[in-house]
Structure 1
């Protein structure tokens, strides 16, 4: 079996430019080359591959053959990969991190976080970002273990010793239940402790420090999504971040409960990293942007 000799990035770039501009002449103008040079490059590429990339029966404009369509898909992936590699190398030469890793408490409003991370991508397109969603004490564990460089978690579930911590705005938490739940029908809910409570609990911590527990009967889940689904289905009642259930309450799927045993308030959040391993330029930028987007109260080390 004959194997095509090694192809160059330039050949693939010429092919893609012809396809994207619609003609050999337009490709030549874009690349600053003569039309004959573009035609020669395509002929050479076809000879190397042993394939006709364009349908020669059409004269008005280059039309890809079936084989050409397949080659273009692969060529585009290779060229994009090469561009990404160049950008990554440039970022490393400039002192940027090879990757930024963050652990985020699930209670953080996702739509607001997404806006901040979108700005990060615009500022550092060559720096990959890895995000771990955690509950309660899981954020601190990932930061201390070094699995993530930055943590965004609850102040109530984070020991600040050895960490540099920036306090940011908290999230309002409220008790809710499905519209058909008995507590939702009773009006003034004096017996919440007598009904099943859905509790978001840390996958490792098992003590009551990790969550708000009022009822003697509880189901523990490790993520807010599962808790939300159970509550909407009418199984138990629970405490949820208000932004996550706002639309459900407006639509009548959930009801904001009045639970005398539960004191509503804000779940305080903070950004943390280890004192002895501060983030690099991209990570530092992200912390500064998060602080600006979510408000700053104080910084301690």
Structure 2
């Protein structure tokens, strides 16, 4: 069985006859007839009822036509993917993204890349604190979008955006009745919900943590927000992640000495001196174009 035989079968079905199939495939009618006949002999059954003016698929032919169309489609996909790789396009591009980074415009860029380079698989992993840049340094990813705690000598960087970290509580939090006159010292006796650093081999980092206060550690900001909404504790959240809850009153933003919003710049990083393929270079350029405040 060959792809040529399957193309002949599908063309006869889709064009309505052997003559039309031959014209569509730029081949002689006899070549199409022979291809289909050889396929029938290999399969040991008739694919067409040829008694009428036009060939009609047999019940078995209906089933096998569907299979043939699927095989040809996969073959075409494989050829398309191979042609992308032959042009030097990368099989996969990976990005480590800080959990506090706004992602909407980043996702728009990834969508553009996926449309122009469908053979390249995009991998996006979310990390916390030092874990984002650690993934880049250890060559687990090609790019990182992260906050910068210390100078990064192994990578070039471009500022993309900023986010604000704000302390929030739920109206069900024990001190909520004193809102907005809650101070940092008032919170010392209450649970602060903290997202753990995902670094594996670097010293763990923390930011905005109230020393001496009880803490609950969670793996991500979704769980952190759920715990704060329940009234179980308080914590600092990226403003864009709680904008809806602040607007409808499900969360309350704290302010005052030690409780003001903190602006954090977010940067795009890639390792210095490492050549990239065409998809990676285009992604680097497009991400820089989506800089916003």
Q: Tell me whether the two structures share a fold, i.e. TM-score over 0.5.
A: yes
Q: Which runs of 5+ in 1 are unaligned?
A: 1-6, 297-301
CA–CA separation in structure 2 for the residues paired with 1:179 and 1:56: 78
Equivalent residue of 2:251, what SS? Answer: strand
CA–CA separation in structure 2 for the residues paired with 1:232 and 1:211: 21
Aligned partners of 2:160 and 2:288 also within 8 Å: yes
Superposed displacement of residue 164, structure 1: 1.0
Q: Is 1:79 the counterpart of 2:72 in the alignment?
A: yes
Render the CA deviation track for 1:204-246: whole Å, top value 9, x for unaligned.
3797743321260111122222223323333322222222222
CA–CA separation in structure 2 for the residues paired with 1:117 and 1:152: 13
Aligned partners of 2:229 and 2:251 also within 8 Å: no
Partner of 1:235: 232
Q: Is 1:212 the counterpart of 2:208 in the alignment?
A: yes
CA–CA separation in structure 1 for the residues paired with 2:290 and 2:218: 30
Shift in CA distance, 17/228, structure 1 to aligned 2, threshold 3 Å? farther
Q: Is 1:292 the counterpart of 2:266 in the alignment?
A: no
Partner of 2:279: 282
Superposed displacement of residue 287, structure 1: 1.3
Q: Is 1:124 the counterpart of 2:117 in the alignment?
A: yes
Superposed displacement of residue 167, structure 1: 1.3
Give 1:182's match in structure 2, choosing from 174, 181, 184: 174
Q: Is 1:47 the counterpart of 2:41 in the alignment?
A: yes
Give 1:149's match in structure 2, choosing from 142, 155, 161: 142
Partner of 1:4: none
CA–CA separation in structure 2 for the residues paired with 1:138 and 1:199: 15
Aligned partners of 1:22 and 1:62 also within 8 Å: no
Aligned partners of 1:100 and 1:127 also within 8 Å: yes
Q: TM-score, normalised by structure 1?
A: 0.77
Q: TM-score, normalised by structure 2?
A: 0.79
Partner of 2:156: 164
CA–CA separation in structure 1 for the residues paired with 2:155 and 2:240: 28
Superposed displacement of residue 53, structure 1: 5.6
Superposed displacement of residue 32, structure 1: 4.3
Equivalent residue of 1:271, what SS? Answer: strand
CA–CA separation in structure 1 for the residues paired with 2:68 and 2:102: 39
CA–CA separation in structure 1 for the residues paired with 2:55 and 2:226: 55
Render the CA deviation track for 1:154-179: whole Å, top value 9, x for unaligned.
123x5411211111111233223334
Number of equivalenced pairs? 286
Superposed displacement of residue 181, structure 1: 2.6
Aligned partners of 1:22 and 1:61 also within 8 Å: no
Partner of 1:244: 241
Partner of 1:196: 191
- Please show how residues 15-164 of structure 1 align to structure 2 within 5 Å: 15-16=9-10, 21=14, 23-24=16-17, 30-32=24-26, 41-50=35-44, 65=59, 68-69=62-63, 72-73=66-67, 76=70, 78-156=71-149, 159-164=151-156
Cα RMSD, aligned residues only: 3.5
Shift in CA distance, 130/80, structure 1 to aligned 2, threshold 3 Å? farther
Shift in CA distance, 264/126, structure 1 to aligned 2, threshold 3 Å? same
Shift in CA distance, 74/22, structure 1 to aligned 2, threshold 3 Å? closer
Superposed displacement of residue 270, structure 1: 0.9
CA–CA separation in structure 1 for the residues paired with 2:260 and 2:58: 67
Render the CA deviation track for 1:33-61: whole Å, top value 9, x for unaligned.
56776565445434323456678999999
Aligned partners of 2:3 and 2:72 also within 8 Å: yes
